[in-house]
Amino acid sequence: MVLGGIVIPDDKLVSINQALQKYRREEHMTAELKWTKVTNQKLGKYKIFVDHFFALNARGGAHFSSLILDSRQINHRKFNKGDKELGYYKFLYQLLLHSFGKHYCQNESGEECKLVVHPDQRTSKYPLQELKKYLNHSMARKFGIKTNPFISIRPQDSKTADLAQLNDILIGAVGFQKNGVDLIAGTRQGKIDLASYIRKKAGLRSLKESTVPGCDGFKIWNFRLQK
């Protein structure tokens, strides 16, 4: 299982969203874009779509971070009261706290960092307000950042959010290679080629392995679970 997110500075949001809307008009790609819908016929259009991320990424204006979990080793009974949904939010907490909160709020410039999070919309009994509270508490307790940097966690419908769809494709490529689906006979060639294309654009030898510290533009974290 892979969780991931794209972080973009507030002053870049308008331009990237405008660019993605222009792409949709020019390429006639009006439907939802996601990893499961990648086909051989539309490979070129999906490459152009991810190029928008990597163009901004090359200028330091967009970063991607992902967390990989071996779902076969997750002990929900022992650690999550037998609740898979609780487990999901605990892992989302880890991604947000370490890959985004710790990384972007502990900056040498001294500038105050504020984070607005837009997870995909899902039905859950766990309020996102509680997740925000735990994140800000941990930022203060673990890293000495007492400014409550997580100011909002508001769900959005990925069907109407281009950046969420872009994130889905990047996550999909990571999971695709990590699970070895690209090595299975009969796998759709378009997905094999797109995953390889994303790997090369990210400057990585593989999407399976954790990236080294300092590799901020495209980060992969193979999470070690408690036994």
Instruction: Extract the runs of DSSP E, i.e. beta strands, from 123-179.
Output: 150-153
Least confident of 88-97, 107-116, 129-138: 107-116
22 lies in a domain?
yes
- Give the global pTM: 0.93
53 lies in a domain?
yes
Of 45, 8, 16, 14, which is closest to residue 30 (Cα–Cα)?
45
pLDDT in tens, 42-62: 999 999 999 999 999 999 999
Torsion-angle region of residue 8: left (phi > 0), alpha (psi -120 to 50) or beta? beta
pLDDT band of residue 79 (cuts 50, 70, 90) is low
Residues 42 and 30: their CA atoms lie apart, in Å, by 13
Place of tokens 């378009």: 190
209 lies in a domain?
yes
12 lies in a domain?
yes
Domain count, the chain: 1
pLDDT band of residue 225 (cuts 50, 70, 90) is confident
> By residue range, what is the domain housing residue 66?
2-96+159-222
118 lies in a domain?
no
Q: What is the pLDDT, as a whole number, of residue 80?
A: 61
Distance (Å) of CA 50 to CA 167, 189, 195: 9, 17, 11
